Amino acid sequence: MNQASQHGLPSRVPRTPIDPARVETGELSEPSNSRRLFGVEEELLLVDATTLEPIPAGEEAARRSGNPHRSGHEITAEFQQEQVEVICPPRLTFAEQLEAIRVGRALAAASAARLGGRVVALPSAPRLLRPHMVPKPRFQRIRERFGVTAVEQLTCGFHVHVHINSRAEGVAVLDRIRVWLPTLLALSANSPFWSGADTGFASYRYQLWSRWPTSGPTDLFGSVEAYDRLRAGLLATEVPLDIGMIYFDARASAKHPTVEVRIADVCLEAEHATVIATLIRALVETSAREWAAGIEPDPVSATLLRAWSWWASYHGVEGDLIHPATGVPSPAQEVVAALVDHVRPVLAEYGEESAVVRGVTQILQGQSGVRRQREAYSSRGRLYDVVADALVATHHDAPAQVDTD
């Protein structure tokens, strides 16, 4: 029995290991003009190179990054000074996306190094910390309105943009991907530690992020008009300051012709981040084809989806997940297998099935971010070790040298 079968993945998996060189060269992911462009944004934690404690240097790191880089990457400041965001250029293939993420991390690392820092793919700061807000007028207004929710909001997410052909297609996609978002959260789960302790959650970042009143899952929209009415209604309440604070788990971008899936933790491994992004692109494409074929979305309520996401945030892939087909807990391997089966035709068409199954199998076999963090902590009971090991995972497959000029 192959590894994928042991872990409940679909049986159509190569029986020989994937050659990483074939992924690197793009052999497993040939470019195609019919593919949707997809791009990622990674939020990374800034830490001191020696103590590994978070440092408030986000604005300066972004300023010194030389934006925009000729590769198309951009390093920007985020809400708190202890983080930066890496905006990667849109790509067409798995191999291109993997390289874009690796280069983006290396560029951010080079910028942080100028300040005596490092960047690490941790969605939450393991130690007790009072972060420093970036001094922008908008952020100050957010702090005044949202109090401790804003003060304590230091989280690093992973956002994936996928091209859409029209707003109608985008809303139709949002209606059809929503039941699979908790599964994606579980696969990405990478934040068990917060404020000096193991929270018991696989993704405590999602719990922290869920404090925002406009975050979380959405009910079915059915039309662009319904989407716009909900967004306008939220803005009319004056709870969110502006359209940028519509923090749905997946939303239509206000700036680009994309849907933006925002539910995932930033991943330790660049390859696992690429797997999540590729699954999301395949899910968007599958959903768009379903819409074109007249297949109706699953009418699960947002209230139920919120419970599914809470469950995924707590368990990750270490226990059961809620199965979209039944609405009850099932082994994580079965639910992940159902997701892979759901998007398999697109993955196979794009030549990305093997690379995605390889990465998913790794996560299910105990190489998830949350498992790796807890194992790093277990040896000596020191959060320093968690950050040190996360640094290795963040950069071990980065390019040896990156031209930062």
pLDDT exceeding 90 applies to what percent of the chain? 86
Model pLDDT, residue 21 = 36
The whole-angstrom separation of Cα 148 and Cα 211 is 10
Give yes or no for residue 14 having a pLDDT over 90: no
Q: What are the pLDDT digits (tens) for 63-104?
A: 999 878 889 999 999 999 999 999 999 999 999 999 999 999
Show the tokens assigned to 348: 């196979």
Q: What's the whole-number average pLDDT of the chain?
A: 91
Give me the count of residues in the chain: 405
- Would you say residue 9 lies in a domain? no
Answer for the pair 14, 365: CB distance below 8 angstroms, yes or no. Answer: no
- Would you say residue 352 lies in a domain? yes
Sequence-distant (6+) residues with CB within 8 A of 159 are 40, 41, 260, 261, 262, 264
Between 12-26, 41-55, 223-237, 369-383, the lowest mean confidence (pLDDT) is in 12-26
Show the tokens assigned to 27: 């052999």
- Does the pTM surpass 0.75? The reply is yes
- Would you say residue 2 lies in a domain? no
Give the domain extent around 383.
Answer: 24-395
The band of 128, judged by pLDDT with boundaries at 50, 70 and 90, is confident
The whole-angstrom separation of Cα 354 and Cα 94 is 11
Q: What are the pLDDT digits (tens) for 201-246?
A: 999 999 999 999 999 999 999 999 999 999 999 999 999 999 999 9
One-letter amino acid at 107 equals L
Helices 224-236 and 167-177 meet at what angle, rounded to 10? 80
The whole-angstrom separation of Cα 187 and Cα 261 is 14
The band of 398, judged by pLDDT with boundaries at 50, 70 and 90, is low
Alpha-carbon dihedral angle through residues 300, 302, 308, 311, given to the nearest 10 degrees? -170
The sign one gets for the Cα dihedral 387, 392, 397, 400 is positive
The sign one gets for the Cα dihedral 20, 23, 25, 27 is positive
Q: CATH no. for residue 274?
A: 3.30.590.20
The whole-angstrom separation of Cα 251 and Cα 153 is 21
Model pLDDT, residue 390 = 97
> Judging by beta carbons within 10 Å of its beta carbon (0-12, 13-18, 19+), is residue 86 exposed, middle or buried?
buried
DSSP assigned state of 216: B
Model pLDDT, residue 79 = 96
- Would you say residue 182 lies in a domain? yes
Neighbours of 270 (CB within 10 A): 26
- Would you say residue 1 lies in a domain? no
Model pLDDT, residue 67 = 76
> Judging by beta carbons within 10 Å of its beta carbon (0-12, 13-18, 19+), is residue 15 exposed, middle or buried?
exposed
- Number of structural domains found in the chain: 1
Name residue, tokens 């207004």: 141
DSSP assigned state of 328: S
Return the bridge partners of 250, or none.
261
Return the bridge partners of 48, or none.
117
The band of 6, judged by pLDDT with boundaries at 50, 70 and 90, is very low
Model pLDDT, residue 146 = 97
SS3 191: strand
Give yes or no for residue 327 having a pLDDT over 90: yes
- Would you say residue 111 lies in a domain? yes
Model pLDDT, residue 34 = 82
The maximal CA–CA distance of the chain, rounded, in angstroms, is 59
The whole-angstrom separation of Cα 198 and Cα 123 is 14
The whole-angstrom separation of Cα 268 and Cα 124 is 12
- Would you say residue 19 lies in a domain? no
The band of 403, judged by pLDDT with boundaries at 50, 70 and 90, is low
- Would you say residue 10 lies in a domain? no
Give yes or no for residue 54 having a pLDDT over 60: yes
Q: Give the DSSP letter string of 332-366.
A: HHHHHHHHHHHHHHHHHHHT-HHHHHHHHHHIIII
The whole-angstrom separation of Cα 177 and Cα 333 is 19
